[in-house]
């Protein structure tokens, strides 16, 4: 019994990602077609070369037909998966395992979300019939609980923490401004963000992820086949996933300053990849900054900062584009936007660009030669969430 | 002995200053306040709160539950079984509505006093009307309940009752109508005067008493002047006619008689004889001898001084649906599932969690597998409605759908263990703090597809000066 991972057994050889936008003129079908076309071209393969497909979408369609019909696939297996906001990572994870198992030579993971057809702002979950006792709080409000708890536990002045959170948003906006695919491309300074009216706890809309439509995709092959398709494949070092049991909502011991699911997923991923000092071994990380306090706490859960130190590290610029460990160099959910099913694959797309040194010059990181990148994708709420951690490398051991 | 085993009054937290109405609509400045059911309260929830207080002081279990109101949640569906579930009464307890109609509570009380069973009578009412109407100004919202039965630990011994009926048209409101129409008041006033006197004389005869042997009487009815004749007659006989809380609460409709009876019993010394005369499409009079034993409270008198009278008139109008407000641009809540709600009856209506036998870990909502130790199906029912909790952390959500945004939401840790992240009510966002004590209250969360969705919220503990 144990989680062993599939380090260096499979590789990513092609990727694509649409612009993340309010795509009033594009449906989920258009977005999938565009992401897949770009991905196939990047690997130099045709759609019929793909032996099996995984489609991640939270609520833009059901079943594999959602992908097979717009792509007009011929007799291929397509598995639709959903795992809250970590749906894109889940599709990718399954495609990697399918190739590692030997069942298929080439698999593709596609993530898509068409969120802007609901008629409402923000994300809205499918109503599942229930007894009427469920919380009706927004995700923003649930994550807003983290900020005062963090301030209280570590003795940070709430006003000071407000500026730290604004700095995280400002950093991600600055990175997104350098990314033509990002939804928001305007730099925002800390003072301007701090002046925005609060909508959930101390959070304003500038502490929240952008809500956008989009799609992203990746092609997975066996590691030994990878160089047939590209001279710079990205190898899978670790894939870990934890579905929380909701104990944080029941347990008075849970203090809203950390996410157990993320900490556990990171621990498993580092074990699989053989990483002992992530802050120095990783070239970069793409993390699930659905709200600014989430990114703050993740720096600790992922082992980048000691407990209680992340706010100071954020202030010191450790996670800036040219800091010790660049985080969300593509703008993150905050600035790139968050089409739920696509986000996990979008994170990998940035690692793909950065480790291959294909990112636009103005945002190419200086640490790429460390050769390892991390993606972290979560879904749910503090106390009750799912968490994915993937580690990706530009070479094999 | 037969009589009142327990009694409870519930005044909602919010109060409207009548001057705030005239400040907007003009006219003579209003005096005093009226009680206001919050946006998440209705006749049923207030009756449940009153009944919880009533039952808290006794081990007696009713054989029947009557619920009375003029503002029912449904007309086809009976409301009383919802109260039955919220009060966690046994399955062999009959539960039905005594109404609709103003007289339901008095008739249910009469039937209870004259039966041989233990009977819980609970009433609630939300009184309103078009903006500027007399019912909006003079009405009030409240719940009240009494438990009637045989006991040697009565609050009030039943001495006798009398009733009088003669059809006449005084006030009327069709189902769904906002406005209550009235005939010329002088007509009803005179008809009520005759009926109230007849009921009173009949009750005295039933009790074998002279009027002078009664110390305090509450005379309640939909018209302030309707009881004037009887009050004058009682005053002449040396009986004290008590204030009907018009200046602070207003006339609370189907609940008012039970509310005043509770108020009388809460103030009565041992041996004092008190009476209620209720005028509502007829008249009913009830006479009791107080035992000196007091209801569990919080007392009506203490609640009068509590609450929050800063409610803006516009918000009051919005809560009652008189002033349509623009909702947040979020999807409205989906209707609850009847079958899912029934499966979780004890949780949804009774706020019963589960407690792991081995670890003692509390689960809200109840679970089959423990989050501590992982034991399966080794849980005891854990009723938590009467347990207070402490706010561990909280937030204010201006984005979530609510009938009255913003949503104030707190992570609540219960005394003795257990946690629930839950919505707060009866509190302004700037009044919440970490460490605040809260108690659970039964509320109507929303209405979707005509289905009223009831569950529990937390509110600042020990309201109303208790």
Q: Which of B253-257, B273-277, B283-287, B396-400 has the lowest mean pLDDT?
A: B396-400
Q: Per the domain annotation, does B360 fall within a domain?
A: no
Q: Per the domain annotation, does B364 fall within a domain?
A: no
* Of the partner residues B340, B371, B422, the one whose CB lies closest to the CB of residue A247: B371
Spatial distance between the Cα atoms of A75 and A247, rounded to a whole number of angstroms? 43
The answer, yes or no, to whether residue A340 has pLDDT greater than 80, is yes
The answer, yes or no, to whether residue B456 has pLDDT greater than 50, is yes
Q: Per the domain annotation, does B421 fall within a domain?
A: yes
Q: Say how many domains are in chain B.
A: 2
Q: Where does the pLDDT of residue B99 fall: very low under 50, low under 70, confident under 90, or very high at 90 and above?
A: confident
Asked if B411 and A145 come within 8 Å (Cβ–Cβ), the reply is yes
**What is the per-residue pLDDT for B315?**
97
> Hey, is the C-beta of B416 within 8 angstroms of any chain A C-beta?
no
Instruction: Tell me which of B393, B406, B412, B458 to substitute to probe the interface with A (most A C-beta atoms closer than 10 Å).
Output: B393
* Annotated catalytic residue within A173, A258, A288, A338: A338
Q: Per the domain annotation, does B380 fall within a domain?
A: no
> Hey, is the C-beta of B229 within 8 angstroms of any chain A C-beta?
no
CATH, residue B343: 2.40.50
Q: What is the 3-state secondary structure (H, E, C) of chain A?
A: CCCCCCCCCEEEEEEEECCCECCCCCCHHHHHHHHHHHHHHHHCCCHHHCCEEEEECCCCCCCCHHHHHHHCCCCCCEEEECECECHHHHHHHHHHHHHHCCCCCEEEEEEEECCCCCCCCCCCCCCCCCCCCCCCCCHHHHHHCHHHHHHHHHCCCHHHHHHHHHHHHHHHHHHHHCCCCCCCCCCCCHHHHHCCCCCECCECHHHECCCCEEEEEEEEEEHHHHHHCCCCCEEEEEEEEEECCCHHHHCCCCCCCCCHHHHHHHHHHHHHHCCCCHHHHCCEEECCCCEHHHHHHHHHHCCCCCCCCHHHHHHHCCCCCCCCCCECCCCHHHHHCCCHHHHHHHHHHHHHHHHCCCCCHHHCCCCHHHCEEEEEEEEEECCEEEEEEEEEECCCC
Question: Do B345 and B277 share a structural domain?
Answer: no
**What is the per-residue pLDDT for B465?**
39
- Name the closest residue on chain B to residue A244, using Cα atoms: B371
Q: What 8-state DSSP symbol labels residue B466? A: -
Q: Measure Cα distances from B212 to B119, B209, B236, B239, B278 in Å.
A: 30, 8, 9, 6, 19
Question: Do B346 and B296 share a structural domain?
Answer: no
Q: Does domain A10-119+213-234 have CATH number 3.40.47.10?
A: yes
Full-model pTM: 0.95
**What is the per-residue pLDDT for A119?**
87
CATH 3.40.47.10 positions along chain A are 10-119+213-234, 139-211+237-393
- Give the model confidence (pLDDT) of A282-325 as tens digits: 999 999 999 999 999 999 999 999 999 999 999 999 999 999 99
**What is the per-residue pLDDT for B466?**
38
- Give the model confidence (pLDDT) of A131-148 as tens digits: 999 988 999 999 999 999
> Hey, is the C-beta of B280 within 8 angstroms of any chain A C-beta?
no
Question: Do B167 and B24 share a structural domain?
Answer: yes
Asked if A145 and B395 come within 8 Å (Cβ–Cβ), the reply is yes
Predicted-complex ipTM score: 0.93
Q: CA nearest A216: which of A107, A99, A350?
A: A350
Considering chain A, what percentage of its residues have pLDDT values greater than 70?
100
- Give the model confidence (pLDDT) of A84-126 as tens digits: 999 999 999 999 999 999 999 999 999 999 999 988 877 777 7
* Of the partner residues B397, B419, B423, the one whose CB lies closest to the CB of residue A249: B419
* Of the partner residues B330, B343, B395, the one whose CB lies closest to the CB of residue A141: B395
Q: Per the domain annotation, does B50 fall within a domain?
A: yes
**What is the per-residue pLDDT for B171?**
95
Chain A neighbours among B 317-346 (CB < 8 Å)? Answer: 329-331, 333-334, 336-337, 340-341, 343-344
Q: How far is B409 from chain A (nearest CA, A)?
A: 8
**What is the per-residue pLDDT for B225?**
85
The answer, yes or no, to whether residue B464 has pLDDT greater than 50, is no
For residue B70 the two structure tokens come to 């003029």
Q: Which of A341-350, B209-218, B396-405 has the lowest mean pLDDT?
A: B396-405
Asked if A250 and B333 come within 8 Å (Cβ–Cβ), the reply is no
**What is the per-residue pLDDT for A228?**
98
**Is the pLDDT higher at B329 or at B150?**
B150
- Name the closest residue on chain A to residue B391, using Cα atoms: A252
Parent domain of B215:
2-319
The answer, yes or no, to whether residue B76 has pLDDT greater than 70, is yes
**What is the per-residue pLDDT for B329?**
79
Q: Per the domain annotation, does B78 fall within a domain?
A: yes
Question: Do B291 and B158 share a structural domain?
Answer: yes
Asked if A124 and B454 come within 8 Å (Cβ–Cβ), the reply is no
Q: Which are the contacts of A381, defined by CB distance < 8 A and separation ≥ 6?
A: A139, A142, A143
Asked if B395 and A201 come within 8 Å (Cβ–Cβ), the reply is yes
- Name the closest residue on chain B to residue A197, using Cα atoms: B398
The answer, yes or no, to whether residue B463 has pLDDT greater than 70, is no
Chain B residues with CB under 8 Å of A198 CB are: 396, 398
- Name the closest residue on chain A to residue B394, using Cα atoms: A145
Asked if B397 and A148 come within 8 Å (Cβ–Cβ), the reply is no
Chain B residues with CB under 8 Å of A144 CB are: 395, 397
Question: Do B58 and B155 share a structural domain?
Answer: yes
Question: Do B399 and B303 share a structural domain?
Answer: no
**Is the pLDDT higher at B326 or at B180?**
B180
> Hey, is the C-beta of B371 within 8 angstroms of any chain A C-beta?
yes
Q: How far is B357 from chain A (nearest CA, A)?
A: 16
The yes-or-no answer on residue A338 being catalytic is: yes
Question: Do B302 and B162 share a structural domain?
Answer: yes
The answer, yes or no, to whether residue B18 has pLDDT greater than 80, is yes
Chain A residues with CB under 8 Å of B371 CB are: 245-247, 250-251
- Give the model confidence (pLDDT) of A219-262 as tens digits: 999 999 999 999 999 999 999 999 999 999 999 999 999 999 99
Chain A residues with CB under 8 Å of B407 CB are: 136-137, 141
Question: Do B431 and B301 share a structural domain?
Answer: no
CATH superfamily ID and name for A139-211+237-393: Thiolase/Chalcone synthase (3.40.47.10)
pLDDT, mean of residues A346-351:
98
**What is the per-residue pLDDT for B13?**
98
Average pLDDT, chain A: 97
- Name the closest residue on chain A to residue B442, using Cα atoms: A133
- Give the model confidence (pLDDT) of A23-58 as tens digits: 999 999 999 999 999 999 999 999 999 999 999 999
Q: How far is B11 from chain A (nearest CA, A)?
A: 25
Spatial distance between the Cα atoms of A102 and B89, rounded to a whole number of angstroms? 61
* Of the partner residues A131, A133, A149, the one whose CB lies closest to the CB of residue B393: A149
The answer, yes or no, to whether residue B232 has pLDDT greater than 50, is yes
CATH, residue B176: 3.40.47.10
Q: Per the domain annotation, does B391 fall within a domain?
A: yes
HSE (CB half, 13 Å, CA atoms) of B339? 1
Considering chain A, what percentage of its residues have pLDDT values greater than 90?
95
Q: What 8-state DSSP symbol labels residue B336? A: P
Q: Per the domain annotation, does B332 fall within a domain?
A: no
Q: Are A236 and A365 in contact (CB under 8 A)?
A: no
């Amino acid at each position: 019994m144990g989680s062993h991972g599939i380090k260096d057994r499979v590789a990513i050889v092609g990727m694509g990602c649409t612009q993340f936008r309010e795509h009033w003129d594009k449906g989920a079908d258009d977005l999938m077609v565009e992401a897949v076309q770009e991905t196939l071209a990047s690997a130099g393969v045709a759609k019929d070369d793909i032996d099996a497909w995984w489609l991640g979408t939270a609520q833009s369609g059901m079943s594999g037909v959602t992908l097979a019909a717009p792509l007009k696939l011929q007799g291929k297996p397509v598995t639709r998966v959903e795992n809250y906001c970590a749906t894109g990572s889940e599709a990718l994870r399954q495609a990697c395992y399918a190739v590692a198992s030997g069942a298929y030579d080439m698999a593709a993971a596609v993530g898509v979300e068409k969120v802007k057809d609901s008629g409402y702002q923000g994300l809205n979950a499918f109503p599942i019939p229930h007894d009427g006792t469920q919380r009706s709080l927004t995700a923003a409000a649930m994550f807003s609980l983290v900020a005062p708890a963090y301030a209280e536990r570590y003795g940070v002045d709430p006003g000071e923490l407000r500026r730290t959170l604004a700095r995280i948003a400002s950093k991600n906006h600055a990175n997104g401004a350098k990314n033509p695919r990002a939804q928001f491309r305007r730099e925002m300074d800390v003072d301007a963000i701090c002046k925005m009216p609060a909508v959930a706890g101390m959070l304003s809309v500038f502490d929240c992820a952008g809500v956008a439509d989009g799609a992203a995709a990746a092609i997975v092959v066996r590691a030994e086949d990878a160089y047939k398709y590209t001279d710079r494949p990205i190898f899978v070092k670790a894939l870990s996933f934890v579905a929380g049991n909701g104990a944080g909502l029941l347990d008075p011991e849970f203090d809203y300053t950390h996410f157990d699911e993320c900490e556990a997923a990171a621990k498993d991923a580092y074990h699989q990849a053989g990483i002992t000092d992530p802050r120095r071994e990783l070239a970069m990380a793409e993390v699930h900054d659905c709200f600014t306090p989430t990114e703050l706490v993740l720096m600790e859960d992922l082992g980048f900062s000691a407990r209680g130190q992340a706010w100071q590290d954020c202030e010191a610029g450790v996670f800036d584009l040219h800091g010790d460990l660049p985080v969300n160099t593509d703008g993150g959910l905050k600035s790139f936007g968050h089409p739920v099913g696509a986000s996990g694959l979008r994170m990998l797309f940035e690692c793909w660009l950065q480790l291959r040194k294909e990112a636009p010059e103005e945002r190419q990181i200086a640490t790429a030669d460390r050769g390892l990148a991390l993606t972290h994708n979560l879904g749910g709420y503090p106390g009750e969430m799912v968490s994915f951690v993937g580690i990706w490398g530009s070479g094999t051991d | 002995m037969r009589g009142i085993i327990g009694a409870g009054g519930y005044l909602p937290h919010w109060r409207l200053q009548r001057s705030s109405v005239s400040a907007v609509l003009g006219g003579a400045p209003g005096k005093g306040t009226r009680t206001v059911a919050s946006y998440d309260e209705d006749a049923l929830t207030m009756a449940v709160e009153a009944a919880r207080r009533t039952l808290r002081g006794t081990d007696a279990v009713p054989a029947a539950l009557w619920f009375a109101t003029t503002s029912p949640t449904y007309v086809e569906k009976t409301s009383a079984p919802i109260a039955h579930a919220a009060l966690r009464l046994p399955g062999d307890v009959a539960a039905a509505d005594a109404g609709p109609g103003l007289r339901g509570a008095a008739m249910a009380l009469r039937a209870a006093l004259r039966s041989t069973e233990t009977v819980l009578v609970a009433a609630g009412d939300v009184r309103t009307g078009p903006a500027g109407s007399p019912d909006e100004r003079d009405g009030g919202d409240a719940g009240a309940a009494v438990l009637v039965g045989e006991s040697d630990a009565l609050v009030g011994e039943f001495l006798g009752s009398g009733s009088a009926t003669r059809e006449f048209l005084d006030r009327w409101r069709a189902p769904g109508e906002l406005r209550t129409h009235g005939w010329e008041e002088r007509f009803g006033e005179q008809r009520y005067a005759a009926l109230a006197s007849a009921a009173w004389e009949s009750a005295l005869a039933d009790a074998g008493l002279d009027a002078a042997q009664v110390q305090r009487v509450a005379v309640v009815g939909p018209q302030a002047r309707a009881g004037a004749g009887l009050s004058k007659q009682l005053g002449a006989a040396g009986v004290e006619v008590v204030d009907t809380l018009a200046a602070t609460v207003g006339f609370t409709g189907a609940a008012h008689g039970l509310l005043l009876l509770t108020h009388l019993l809460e103030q009565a010394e041992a041996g004092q004889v008190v009476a209620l005369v209720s005028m509502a499409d007829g008249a009913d009079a009830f006479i009791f001898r107080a035992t000196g034993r007091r209801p569990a409270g919080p007392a009506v008198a203490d609640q009068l001084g509590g609450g929050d009278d800063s409610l803006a008139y516009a918000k009051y109008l919005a809560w009652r649906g008189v002033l349509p407000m623009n909702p947040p641009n979020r999807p409205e809540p989906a209707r609850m599932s009847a079958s899912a709600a029934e499966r979780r009856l004890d949780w949804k209506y009774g706020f019963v969690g589960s407690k792991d036998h081995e670890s003692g870990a509390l689960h809200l909502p109840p679970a089959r597998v423990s989050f501590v130790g992982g034991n399966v199906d080794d849980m005891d029912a854990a009723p938590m409605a009467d347990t207070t909790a402490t706010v561990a952390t909280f937030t204010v959500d201006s984005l979530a759908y609510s009938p009255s945004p913003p949503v104030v939401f707190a992570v609540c840790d219960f005394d003795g263990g257990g946690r629930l992240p839950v919505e707060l009510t009866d509190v302004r966002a700037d009044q919440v703090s970490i460490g605040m004590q809260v108690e659970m209250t039964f509320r109507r969360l929303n209405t979707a597809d005509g289905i009223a969705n009831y569950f529990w919220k937390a509110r600042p503990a020990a309201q109303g000066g208790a």
